[in-house]
Structure 1
Amino acid sequence: MKMRVIVSILFLIGCVVLPNGFAQAENENDVRVLIVHKDEGDVSTQSSTTSEDKYEVVSVPKEDVSDTLSKLNGDRDIESAEVDQLVYTQALPPNDTYFEKQSRDFEVMKVVEAWEQYEPEEEVTVAIVDSGIDLKHPELRSRLIEGKNFIHEDEPPMDSTGHGTHVAGLVGAVTNNKMGIASAAKNVKLMPVKVFEGKTTYMSTVIQGIRYSVDHGADIINLSLGSYNNMDALEDAIDYAVDKGVLVVGAAGNDNDHAVLYPATYADVLAVGSIDSAKGTKSAFSNYGETIDVSAPGTNIFSTWMSGYETLDGTSMSTAIVSSVSSMVKQQYPFLTGLQVKDVMENSATPLPQIELLGKGLINAEEALNYVKTKNRIYGQTSVETAVNISQNGWPSLKEKELKMDGETLNGSFVILASGNSFPDSLAASPLGAYLDSPILLTKNGKLSESVKEELKRLNPTHVLMMGGQNAISSGVENEVKNLEIDTRRIYGLDRYETAVAINELIPYTSNKAFVVSGQNYPDALSIASYSGRLQYPVLFVQKENIPLTVRSYMEENDISKTYVIGGQGIISSKVEDNLPGHFRIYGLDRYETNMKVHQTFASKGAESLYFATGKKFPDALSISPLASRTDSPIVLVDNKENPELQKSINVFTNRKSYHILGGPGAIPVQKAWQIDQYMKSK
């Protein structure tokens, strides 16, 4: 992931000005420093340094920058170290003639900022179910597609009152064309569906317009209209649209009343209230209520009108603006369903604590595009940072525990430190982390990152347990921990097999069962990581064709009479299986099917939360097992290709309610993450 960040910065250098000066870190007295590590082979994995290992960003006190750079650049393992530089965007406001009349509203909704990352993949069609549209308006005519007039069916859906034209301009007026106004979304197709002639119409006509819009390819339906009276047929029409994946956006109403119009009040409609962006308050006219989802500017809104432009007030205007920002999201991420876009708009909104009953806040275009990438993710720029985030999410503080080790009883709080370069030591620590209710932090490149140091200071443990010998965690790292005045204890053996046994010997298991996994292949070990902690079964590593002597001895000394062999014969041979006590093999055609069958065997009926991790590489999920064990949250492996086992694995957990994704979009792509979101909600 860091590689991508750096490449992006290098690309931007050609487009923007880098001023003299350096980039401040989160602490205003610190400076960001970019460290580039030399490529280094990894003995345990026989692979070169990954891109996420190569680049590291640390915060350094301003007064220490010079000395720190000198030391870092003198380190033989570091290719270079330099002060991170600020990059300034060169975005300009649109050149539309009347944009100054819109600029404040665009500013509070972060639209211009959103444009900097706005890269529409597909065109989106928004049905304007309203009074029609001025079909000849120069701001709109190039964006119009075929619609329908339900008032006079033999005539085109031409607007005669202006309301629909005003709404259409806010949704999709051509932006940056040196005339008129701008809209948030660019290149939106506008479908004029005329259901009004004056100020009123029948609900049956609106229902016809909704169904027509769905049947003719609308992605979003804008309903800047409504009634205080419900009709079953209206609800059926909304359900029809939602079932087809269409987003329906509805106006709350303009009566300054604690009430919300139909259809906006329906749970599956994105209900919109209005704010006055000049005052930062609810618009004087806007309805309010518990069923409103979001708000948007609706006071003094300038937009297209019959043969010109006009200023109007109303939740009709707010609704149209929300439809436009929703179009941005749908254009950039066309795989999202309508309900998922609704989710994005709600959960990315800027809270307005001073305004009650106007939903989750003011829509925020920039955060909406960001939220699609980050929803329910626990991640950092590297696996080390991801582990820190897991720790911060799962451990507000540490609990006092007792551990008997080397003939000594340790009382206090514990943190486990493992190598992020090799999976066996880290995954073998899963039951120990669960037993001690301790987070697992990671170290790479023979150094303790600044973020890990800060997390250790926050947690303030009495003991840090280091997994593995000095090849796994260097003496330099150990000294860095000791310098924080924390006691260190090392748990290790001559190899990964002995280390796993050494870890298991610290836990007073009462079970005679054990998991047996490959010490050379990580996915199957990851599949049982949370279960080993919850069930308190030791994790024992074997080779494909051999059971190490230390593992044999451990099983004999601890009366292990039942072993669950995880993985097929390509991972652990039948010869090894036959020499294991009470063996029972759990496997599938690949790691994903094996993962599913593990869940079918060990899943708790009460499991409500799931963690999703990539099945292609191990680092992002290394640290989750203690938290997953404590919260009874199994780990589901994800294949970024089409994977029928994914939904089957999810469906094992009938009580599922929530989930988290481990790692950033480089680990599990955005589209796959939202597919998971869809699977989680389907029964």
Structure 2
Amino acid sequence: MKIGVLDTDGDFKHRFFRDKKLDIRRKSTNGEYRKYGIGFTHGEIVCSMILKENPQAEIILYPIISENMKCSVLELIRGIESLIESGVDIINLSVGDEYNYHPELESICKDAQRQGILIVAAHSNRNVYATYPADLSFVVGVKCTDKNSPEKIMLFDESRNEVIFSSSYFSLYHLEIPRLIQGNSFACAKISGLLSWHKDSFREALKNLEHSFLNHYYPCETLKQKQCLFCTNRPNDQMEQRFINEVTNTIANFTIEDMDSEMVRQLHDWEILFIDCDSYQAVLPYKDKIRDFKILHQEKEIVLRYPLFSLEERMNLDLQYRVLIHQFFI
């Protein structure tokens, strides 16, 4: 599965990218990139979120967006042309025109569609009347609304071919940053990664996600109502101890290294296993064990503070086993 990306450049030196397929088609570079304060460029974050959803995908990146997050309509059209020539299956666009409709832009997008390429495009982060190509009817447009106390994570408006997230904040956990970043571009990347598993039936996949159990935010008050095992990588941290005492009804807490033995030893005593490990690499070796334990013990709830599992992985667990692993964020 080849995913074409038009975005900013980057050095992609973080270990998350080491085993990933990433082809950067640069015209030239001086090796210097404008990075957010968290140490990554916009393009690096977008590509990482696509690959978090589908680690097997191959990304072809044309870095046409400048450091000030701008590019001309002509550069956008030429970028899409280049991706069509590169034989991609999906095109992910973080950029568009917020002011004007351009028939030439629609024409090249239609050329892509005729060749079987799915275009997923972010709407503007600003409250504008339209964003092109995200507002074209045959393009999957992605935006966020930031609702107060939302129940559902996303909606799919099939009539407009539009994915709408109820929050514009997305996790950087997989990049070893236990923080959230805001923007429609990152929602778009999530959807591109997800749909790369379902390109030929993308509408069905989006409807399945919309109507699945995992399309709900976890009710945090449940942590106080049920008996919890609390797994953490920072048991002596004062803020963590305060969280344990004030937010959960914890009967025992332990480190990630002791998770296997403690889950089994106290199997009959707990209802929720809450995993609060702020290091993605530290918990990653336990990912399969967490999944397998949940399949075997479906009566137990497993809740992760940070998103270890992708949307596709959680959807498959739901469809194959009727199993739901809860995560606070995506």
1:248 to 1:185, Cα distance in 2 relative to 1, 3 A: same
State the aligned residue count.
212
Counterpart of 1:294 in structure 2 is 163
- 2:111 is matched with 240
Correspondence 1:255 to 2:126: yes
Deviation at 1:213, TM superposition (A): 1.2
CA deviation vs aligned residue, 1:429-472 (integer Å, no higher than 9, x gap)? xxxxxxxxxxxxxxxxxxxxxxxxxxxxxxxxxxxxxxxxxxxx
Contact 1:133–1:168 (Cα < 8 Å) also in 2: no
Structure 2 residue aligned with 1:135: 12
Question: CA contact under 8 A between 2:93 and 2:120: conserved in structure 1?
Answer: yes
Q: Which residue of 2 aligns with 1:145?
A: 22
Report the equivalent of 1:166.
45
1:516-552: CA deviation from partner (whole Å, max 9, x where unpaired): xxxxxxxxxxxxxxxxxxxxxxxxxxxxxxxxxxxxx
User: Which amino acid is 1:192 matched to?
Assistant: L
Sort the Cα spacing of 1:276 and 1:264 in 2 relative to 1 into closer, same or farther, 3 A: same
**Normalised by the size of structure 2, how large is the TM-score?**
0.54
Give ranges in structure 1 of 5+ residues lacking alignment.
1-123, 173-182, 331-335, 353-363, 373-683
Q: Could you say which residue in structure 2 is the equivalent of 1:186?
A: 55
Superposition map of 1:577-656 within 5 A: none
Q: d(CA) in 2 for partners of 1:261 and 1:193?
A: 21
Once the two structures are superposed, residues 224-254 of structure 1 have per-residue CA deviations (whole angstroms, 9 ceiling, x without a partner) of: 1211212122111111111111110011221
Q: Could you tell me how far 1:167 is from its partner in structure 2? A: 0.8
Give the whole-Å Cα distance in 2 for the aligned partners of 1:282 and 1:156: 44
Alpha-carbon distance in 2 for matches of 1:304, 1:167? 13
Cα RMSD, aligned residues only = 3.9
CA distance in 1, matches of 2:71, 2:174: 21
Structure 2 vs 1, CA of residues 304 and 188 (structure 1 numbering), >3 Å: closer, same or farther?
A: farther
Shift, 1:207, TM fit: 1.1
Pair member with larger Rg: 1
The answer to whether the Cα contact below 8 Å between 1:260 and 1:289 also exists between their aligned partners in 2 is no
Say whether 1:350 aligns with 2:210: yes
Mapped contact 2:53–2:193 kept (Cα < 8 A): yes
Is this contact kept in 2: 1:326–1:345, CA < 8 A? Answer: yes
Shift of 1:216: 1.0
Give the AA of the match of 2:73: M
CA drift at 1:194: 0.5
Aligned residue runs from structure 1 range 371-520, under 5 A: none
Retained in 2: the 8 A contact 1:157–1:193? no
Give the whole-Å Cα distance in 2 for the aligned partners of 1:319 and 1:309: 20
Structure 1 residues 306 and 185, CA gap change in structure 2 (3 angstroms): closer
Partner of 1:211: 81
- Output the CA distance in 1 between the equivalents of 2:15 and 2:177: 9
CA contact (8 A) 1:219 1:246 kept: yes
The percentage of counterpart residues that share the same residue type is 21
Distance 1:346 1:307 in 2: 28
Q: CA contact under 8 A between 1:214 and 1:241: conserved in structure 2?
A: yes
Aligned with 1:328 (options 182, 186, 197): 197
Q: What SS does the aligned partner of 1:128 have?
A: strand
The structure, 1 or 2, with the larger RCO (C-alpha pairs under 8 Å, 6+ apart) is 2
What secondary structure is seen at the aligned counterpart in 2 of 1:263? coil
Indicate whether 1:313 and 2:182 are aligned.
Answer: yes
Q: Is residue 302–residue 310 contact of structure 1 (8 Å, CA) maintained in 2?
A: yes
Amino acid of the residue matched to residue 184 of structure 1? E
- Decide whether aligned partners of structure 1 residues 254 and 138 sit closer, same or farther in structure 2, where only a CA change above 3 A counts: same
5+ long unaligned stretches in structure 2: 36-40, 213-310, 320-330
* Structure 1 residues 302 and 277: alpha-carbon distance in aligned structure 2, compared to 1, 3 A threshold: farther
Name the residue aligned to 2:302: none
Report SS of the residue matched to 2:83.
Answer: helix
Q: Secondary structure at the match of 1:145?
A: strand
1:349: Cα distance to partner? 4.2
Of 155, 168, 184, the residue aligned with 2:29 is 155
Secondary structure of 1:214's counterpart equals helix
Residue 266 of structure 1: SS of its match in structure 2?
Answer: coil
Q: Which residue number corresponds to residue 101 of structure 2?
A: 230
CA contact (8 A) 1:299 1:314 kept: yes
Mapped to 1, the partners of 2:87 and 2:315 lie a distance apart of 24
Contact 1:293 1:346 in 2 (8 A): no
What is the Cα deviation at residue 278 of structure 1? 8.7
Q: Does the 8 A contact of 1:134 with 1:307 survive in 2?
A: no
CA deviations over 1:633-678 (Å, ceiling 9, x no partner): xxxxxxxxxxxxxxxxxxxxxxxxxxxxxxxxxxxxxxxxxxxxxx
Tell me the equivalent position of 2:70.
200
Q: Which residues of 2 match residues 258-297 of structure 1 at below 5 A?
A: 259-274=129-144, 276=146, 279-280=149-150, 291=160, 293-296=162-165
Q: 1:146 to 1:186 in 2, by over 3 A?
A: closer
